[in-house]
Structure 1
Amino acid sequence: MIFYHFTTAVGAREIVRTSEIQLGRLPAFEKELSARSGVSLTTSDQPDGHGLPDGRKVSDQEFQYLLKNAPANFALDPDGNGGYFCVDHTEVRLEIDIPDALWGEYRVKRVIDSYDPIQLLAMDVTAHFPLGVYSDEEMLETIESLHTGRLVAKSPTWWWSEKAIPISMIKTAAIKFQGQYQVLLAEEFIAEVRASLAD
């Protein structure tokens, strides 16, 4: 089955360097739920609605929130003018083929089988605010948009693996350039990254 894993450019280099997608903390809306570790996967090839920081410039309120609450993977990059951008966790999209016969070995699981409907709704709503800042009005508008279908709930597409995934399972790597993904075969991508690591 085909899955996708989104990451930063730095994260992609680390994946090639270690020859695997390593386990990380799974995103969740409550701290006790986010204690789970695994490789985040999705069947959706579109980055929106997954709760991923996308390189946007942060507001003052978002900056203060991130300083107080954000883990290292929500780091801030100075923009040179006294402002900040969040790190883009959608820079690279890896297409991964995990054969059904290996699901048991890699302990591949669906998110919707592990959380109740209220938890899933909360995760779907907060996933549209990857920097963690939103008003009550924005939250209610998002719930309404999910209910009417104007926004697509991504939780049915969320999976995870409880075992690190070797790069041999990567089929393609898509690099974001000017808002569009440029797709490379895995062999080409891995060779280019390894060459850059050797420099």
Structure 2
Amino acid sequence: MDIMIDANQSMTYAEARRRAAVFEPLDLVWFEEPLPASGSWGGVRRAENARERERGDLSPSEFHRTGHFRRSSTSWSRKGSESPVQRYGMVIEVRAEKLEEYRRLHAQPWPGVLETLRAHHIANYSIFEHSGLLFSYFEYHGDDFAADMAAIAADPVTQEWWKLTDPCQRRLATAGDGEWWAQMEQVFLME
């Protein structure tokens, strides 16, 4: 018998561990969806995965047992509790004569830059443009923001990337001391 449960619900780390422990004796199997669950594409992919599972087409790496969660959660707990997400919004001016160059560069970001960002706990990074301003948003999942930012700044590939992107930008007069991108204050959040 197949049981499908939507696990994409908000729960604490402790609650997820509690639920995994309850189901572990049943030796349940689940599979990960390769797309985000939100939106119709996630649902379509889940349905395709169910059909692939029935035919035996899914690779073994896409199947997990609750014991895997227990082993993973034990290693997570050794690191301490999971760091809460920290959200950052930043703003800077884009030079009008450099806007198209900036867009072109970001249409094909360098893989090494993206790898460095991910390695230092940056996720969900977006940059928006409006009326000569660039607004960036990202989420930080680490526990030492200053150290991770320093490591990113010390990365040679990132430094080369910045040699191309920095001339496209102009620091705002309202930026804090030592800031290139001015940090913004979050005033609202809906999760």
State the TM-score, normalizing by the size of structure 2. 0.27
**Bigger radius of gyration among the two:** 2
Larger relative helix fraction:
2
